[in-house]
Amino acid sequence: MDVLRDYEDDSFDLIITSPPYADSRDKTYGGIKPDEYVDWFLPRAAEMLRVLKPTGTFILNIKEKVVQGERHTYVLELILALRKQGWLWTEEFIWHKKNCYPGKWPNRFRDAWERCLQFNKHKKFKMLQDEVRVPMGEWATARLKSLGKNDVVRFDSQVGSGFGKNIANWVNRELAYPTNVLHLATETGNKRHSAAFPSALPEWFIKLFTEPNDWVLDPFAGSGTTCEVAQKLHRNSVGIEILPAYCELSRVRLREGTMLLFDEGLTHDASDNSRNNGVYRAEYSGIPSP
């Protein structure tokens, strides 16, 4: 909250973060009680709202925990509170964890997904859908082989929803738009942080919601996954992290990336100082930018 106060209004194109989850992992960096989570989050979200550009997007990776046998409602309450604060709750993506740990509980199955909530300031926001297209895959092979008469003309929904499809449009196309379910494995090899998300998660959203040279913010940066991915994708990034050890980890990680960016074969226009083209610059709480 303190660090963001130094940033001007409308500074960032994308805010993507996985905040400390309520009460969990309190041995590593202090948990917030589920009942107090909304009150804790709101003042921080107010700063995020201020520093996000009008065309920008905020992605919040979060999952409610089970408290006394019930799913706690703090995430649902947070969504309602953020809407009252001025955010639009535009979409909810599901991160399906393809390789979650096996386990058995008496009254539930293992948790294999987390929410990635999308919030915006306005209905019109920057979204580069073509950047995240996926191969048509087996669905296309099976479905398009046997086109019926309903498929070759626009087929309005039988339930009268007004939505229609024209499957024939997709014949001979190799790429399709993805769904709002992301099937990504957790990175079990990450010894650096107990709650790091996989690089593929920020990568997908950075490609979807920003262009090269845009500005990405992760206000709970942890081991610096977001900043590292932003750097690789030639976006500027700012990571804020409260624990000095994690800041240092991120800095090491990003320094390695900077070396790679200056490897032979890569070009960089050093005369263009107006933009941070391909060069990492991040500012951490209390630590000057490199």
Binding residues for ligand SAM (CB under 6 A): 18-20, 29, 193, 195-197, 220, 222-223, 225, 240-243, 246
Query: CA separation (Å) from 270 to 96, 214, 275, 280, 289?
Result: 41, 18, 10, 13, 18
Q: Which is nearer to ligand SAM, 210 or 223 (CB)?
A: 223
Q: Please identify, using beta-carbon distances, which residue of 44 and 207 lies nearer to ligand SAM.
A: 44
The CB-of-31 to ligand SAM minimum distance in angstroms stands at 9
C-alpha 151/C-alpha 154 separation (Å) is 7
Residue 61: CB minimum distance to ligand SAM, A: 7
Least Å distance, CB 279 to ligand SAM, is: 22
Q: Which is nearer to ligand SAM, 117 or 151 (CB)?
A: 117
Q: What's the closest the beta carbon of residue 80 comes to ligand SAM, in angstroms?
A: 22
Using CA atoms, how far apart are residues 188 and 133, in angstroms rounded to an integer?
26
Q: Give the strand pairing for 175-176 and 134-135.
A: antiparallel
Q: Which residue is nearest to ligand SAM (CB)?
A: 222
Minimal distance, residue 239 CB to ligand SAM, in Å? 9
10 Å CB burial of residue 279 (0-12, 13-18, 19+) is middle
Q: Compare residues 82 and 196 and give the one whose CB is closer to ligand SAM.
A: 196
Taking the C-alpha atoms of residue 218 and residue 222, their distance in angstroms, rounded to an integer, is 9
Q: Which is nearer to ligand SAM, 63 or 96 (CB)?
A: 63
Shorter beta-carbon distance to ligand SAM: residue 79 or 240: 240
Q: Least CB distance from residue 25 to ligand SAM, whole Å?
A: 8
Report the alpha-carbon distance of residue 126 to residue 175 in Å, rounded.
21
Token duo for residue 124: 């019109």
The answer to whether the CB of 249 falls within 8 A of the CB of 232 is no
